[in-house]
Amino acid sequence: MQHWNFKEKELHHIQSCLNEGRIVLIQGDNMHDLQLLKDDLTAMSDVPVFEHHIYQSIEELCMAVEHPKAKIILFYANVHHSDFELYLEIQEAIIESVYPAIGIFIELNDHKVLNYHYQSTHEIILRQASDRLKRYELKQNESQPHQSHIAPLDPRKYTLNQLTLAEQMAVRLAYMNTGIEKGGIMGWYQTGEPVITDIAPLKSYALIGCKHRIHGSEWFQNWLISVEAALKQITLVKDIDNYPASLKSLERVYSYWEDRMNYFDTLIKTVHSAAL
């Protein structure tokens, strides 16, 4: 496996996917490379392999993913990156039609791993939540077409009640993390009211993690308490020079928490598994 330069965490994800029966999709335009990586992966676990050859169409690949005969699927795409338009068309089709059903996507090019993506439980549950909310909003608009333009006082709180606990966690954690990564805590705050209303449920999620002894839960809970206290001291920061030092410090320690996505994934997976 050294030839592919996989990181230890990536190998762990691959092993987990194979053991859990989730699909590993390998795409490339060199059949020898596909076979070589397939052999290396199957050496990690005793799984059947379904070799799938695709040329200019993705329909057969979609069928293979919908009715998988193996945990590892080879997608032989007879298209080079020079044919950029066709390449993008294939990648878009994979994202829209295939990606939701797979655990890991690996793209090979020039005897190397070009792209690698592990689809976490957080991503899967978040997609389920998004689909559920879309169906719910559509149903609401159909049942009350004359009021479809009127928004509820608290639309996020209103719609999140339609989700499972794991889905609510996925939405709130993703909303928080994206807001902070893009604009800091005040970027999260200025997005609207939910930053304050979200902290209470987020603290309850951290408490669930503490009860299950998930590493990082106590730190996350204490961090949320500190954020809540800091936000209560301000209403709106208009001048960047007056940005509260306490928030800058909290943002900094959050950015140092490199394992946060794994923590969120473990937390959501724990709650989701308990509900099954």
DSSP characters over 83-141: SHHHHHHHHHHIIIIIGGGEEEEEEEETTEEEEEEE--HHHHHHHHHHHHHHHHHHHHH
Contact 95, 107 (CB under 8 A): no
Together in a domain, 68 and 136 = no
The total number of structural domains that make up the chain: 2
Most confident range (mean pLDDT) of 53-67, 152-166, 213-227 is 213-227
Q: How far is CA 57 from the centre of its chain?
A: 27
264 pLDDT exceeds 50?
A: yes
Together in a domain, 145 and 268 = yes
The CATH number that applies at residue 6 is: 3.40.50
Together in a domain, 127 and 264 = yes
Together in a domain, 248 and 146 = yes
Last residue of some domain: 79, 100, 119? 119
166 pLDDT exceeds 80?
A: yes
DSSP characters over 7-35: -HHHHHHHHHHHHHT-EEEEEES-HHHHH
Residue type, 103: G
Residue 192 has a pLDDT of 52
Together in a domain, 100 and 195 = no
Residue 51 has a pLDDT of 65
**Residue 11: C-alpha distances to residues 24, 101, 210 (Å):** 12, 20, 28
Together in a domain, 73 and 13 = yes
Most distant pair of Cα atoms in the chain: their distance: 62
Together in a domain, 251 and 128 = yes
255 pLDDT exceeds 90?
A: yes
Residue 148 has a pLDDT of 42
Nearest C-alpha neighbor of 232 from the set 255, 199, 184: 199
Residue 155 has a pLDDT of 42
Last residue of some domain: 70, 92, 119? 119
Per-residue pLDDT averaged across 184-207, rounded? 79
Nearest C-alpha neighbor of 75 from the set 43, 37, 122, 118: 37
Q: How does DSSP classify residue 206?
A: H
Together in a domain, 154 and 102 = no
Tell me the residue range of the domain where 190 lies. Answer: 122-275
pLDDT tens by residue, 36-92: 998 888 887 776 666 666 655 677 777 777 777 678 888 877 666 556 677 777 777
The two tokens of residue 51 are 């070799």
Together in a domain, 258 and 159 = yes
- Give 46 or 191, the one with higher predicted confidence: 46
Together in a domain, 100 and 130 = no
pLDDT tens by residue, 233-253: 775 555 555 667 788 899 999
Residue 96 has a pLDDT of 73
| Whole-number CA gyration radius for the chain | 22
- The band of 131, judged by pLDDT with boundaries at 50, 70 and 90, is confident
Residue 151 has a pLDDT of 38
pTM value is 0.74
- The band of 156, judged by pLDDT with boundaries at 50, 70 and 90, is low
261 pLDDT exceeds 90?
A: yes
Last residue of some domain: 119, 146, 172? 119
Three-state SS for 251-268 is: HHHHHHCCCHHHHHHHHH
Together in a domain, 90 and 144 = no
Q: What is the mean pLDDT of the chain?
A: 80
Angle at CA of residue 16, ends 52 and 167, nearest 5°: 100
Together in a domain, 111 and 134 = no
Q: 86-95, 114-123, 124-133, 225-234: which range is least confident on average?
A: 86-95
